[in-house]
A and B are shown apart, each in its own frame.
Chain A
Amino acid sequence: MPPLADLTELIVFVLLAAGVVVGSLGVVLLPNVVYSAFLLGGVFLSVAGLYLLLNASFIAAAQVLIYVGAVNVLILFAIMLVNKREPMADAPGLGLRRLLSSGVCAGLLWLLLRVAYTTPWATPGPTPLGEDAVVRLGEHFFTDYLLPFELASVLLLMAMIGAIVLARRDVFASDIGTGEAADQGLIEKARSPLLIEKTRP
């Protein structure tokens, strides 16, 4: 490979890695959760670019379709459905928890980096497949990974049914009390919430 292509690859990697790290910091730290959701889409796209650098075009396409197209849109819909702005009351011990968790995360990062930089990886491995990777993926899915592949479809069906059952409202064609037709619009009707402490002002 000519050195110019190598240098281009390095520059692209640095840009994508900066996008991933800065974007994920924004996801975690920004006060507005809508900005967080859009930045999360940017992080997903940057990760898809990293996959392209790693000779995995099919997974990169799947990442864009599933994460950016489905998961991120789902998260945005959830934000729209639960967009009540509420002042978060201070909970006791929050500062201590923040300090402790920062320490734990820094320790975990140090451990992971130490493992990554002290293990003698057997690089360079075999030559990557490149564009034939899709063919090899299909062979894997229909021979030695057939059972997990079929189980994944069952899992998706279960998740779909479970999500519908959990999230649906009980809709009656007519109001039980008065007998008149109940409106079945998409607007959440006011109802008395369960399980809220009655003593809270």
Chain B
Amino acid sequence: MTLPSLSALTPVPLEAFLTVAALLFCIGVWGLINSRNAVRVLMSIELMLNAVNINLMAFSSHLDGQEIRGQVYAIFVITVAAAEAAVGLAILLSLYRNRETVDMERFNLLRW
């Protein structure tokens, strides 16, 4: 496999944006599974949502430049992410009051 020359990389190709989004999504999934702090879990979810948004915007600009439907979907994703952050942090505060911890391993009331 030969690396493409510098002139073939300009302007920035679609695959470059998809690569960044894939890396960001996988880092978010890893953090979601492995974080002990509940606040960090919420941050990982935000990282994953941003990765999805980068994908939508890249497709919107490279494949759908006139009808920018990807940007419309990105707006809706941002709206849902804001609502999710508010409700998630409220749930986290309520949990902290009841259990006095933010350790995910000790939120095990409903576990078998």
Contacts and interface: CB of A to CB of B under 8 A. Distances in A.
B61 A56 contact: yes
Secondary structure class of chain B's binding surface, majority of residues: helix
B76 to A, nearest CB: 6
A137 B68 contact: yes
A145 B76 CA distance: 10
Interface in A65-103: 66-67, 70-71, 74-75, 77-79, 81-82, 84, 86, 88-89, 91, 97-98, 101-102
B28 to A, nearest CB: 7
Chain A, interface residues (CB within 8 Å), range = 35 or more
Interface in B69-112: 69, 71-72, 74-76, 78-87, 89-94, 96-103, 105, 109
A44 B27 contact: no
Interface string B1-38: 00000110111111111111011111111110111110
Interface string A19-40: 0110011011000010011001
Contact of B62 (A27, A77, A123, A162): A123
A159 B9 CA distance: 43
A102 B89 contact: no
A33 B90 CA distance: 18
A11 B82 CA distance: 31
Contacts of A13: 12, 16
Contacts, number: 256
B39 A79 contact: yes
A125 B18 CA distance: 16
Contacts of B102: 82, 84
Contact of A50 (B13, B17, B90): B17
A99 B48 CA distance: 20
Please indicate which of the listed interface residues A27, A54, A81, A113 has the most CB atoms of chain B within 10 Å of its own CB.
A54
B68 A74 contact: no
B79 A28 contact: no
Contacts of A188: 97
Contacts of A105: 26-27, 29-30
A40 B29 contact: no
A166 B33 contact: no
Contact of A36 (B23, B43, B87, B100): B43
Interface in A87-142: 88-89, 91, 97-98, 101-102, 104-106, 108-109, 112-113, 116-117, 121-129, 133, 136-137, 140-141
Interface of A: 1, 3, 6-7, 9-10, 13, 17, 20-21, 24-25, 27-28, 33, 36-37, 40, 43-44, 47, 50-51, 53-56, 58-59, 62-63, 66-67, 70-71, 74-75, 77-79, 81-82, 84, 86, 88-89, 91, 97-98, 101-102, 104-106, 108-109, 112-113, 116-117, 121-129, 133, 136-137, 140-141, 145, 148, 152, 155-156, 158-160, 162-164, 166-167, 169, 188, 191, 193-196
5 contacts: A50-B54, A55-B61, A82-B96, A105-B26, A137-B72
